[in-house]
Amino acid sequence: EKARQDGVAVIGVPSGFVPRAAVAYMTVSAYVVAHLAGVLPDPPEAEIEAAATLLEELVVELGPEAPNGSAAKALAGRLPGRVPVIYGAGMTAPVARRWKGQLNENSGIHAFWNELPEVDHNEIMGWETAPASGPFAAVFLADAHQHERTRRRLTLTARLIQDEGSEVHILESRGAAPLERVMSLVLTGDLVSIYLCAASYTDPSSMEVIERLKAELG
């Protein structure tokens, strides 16, 4: 209200959502702010509409009514009993972090994330003993517009991890513009987390441990 009184532009976000459920609203708001600030030269409306249309199509293709062999359901079917490690590179790195949080909060399971090329400087060594220390699964978030060398690194890293005996999955982004491609991977991760939640009869809205922590912190 103070900002409006002072004549400052305000982009409203609907209330009543847990933060992780408002990612699309916040992303669209950030796009609009970036345009108003001159960071994005072109008005973002067309890209936002294209992303919304693609997500509607993907909900049909990957959502609850989709066949069990759909990409999201197939991956969710491979992850029970395994610890997912989500890897991204460049634009898909923040999405990998999003996946990790969704698997933690919605599915109630351990999950970790990192980004290339940092993975190849240290973490890749842990995959040598991963099969002995626990059932891990590496999930790589790929993008057709990634730099050729980045894509080569991703493919090679995935193969080396697989050679060490761990399960590996590579998911490709969908769409043309950056917002479409990012949100396609976000949606896929959200659906995977919900399918895992349903398989274990976990309540995705339960935040009991976090609420206990907040209560004890005061």
Residues with catalytic function = 105, 121, 214
Helix/strand/coil for 14: coil
| List of residues 6+ apart from 98 with CB closer than 8 A | 23, 186, 189
Q: Which residue has the tokens 């399971």?
A: 109
Q: Could you give the count of Cα atoms lying within 13 Å of 40 in the half-sphere of its Cβ?
A: 18
Distance of CA 61 to the CA centre of its chain: 18
Distance of CA 110 to the CA centre of its chain: 15
Question: What residues does 84 pair with on adjacent strands?
Answer: 137
Query: What does the block give as tokens for 92?
Result: 């898909």
Q: How far apart are CA 78 and CA 166, in angstroms?
A: 12
Short-list 177, 172, 185, 144, CA closest to 50:
177
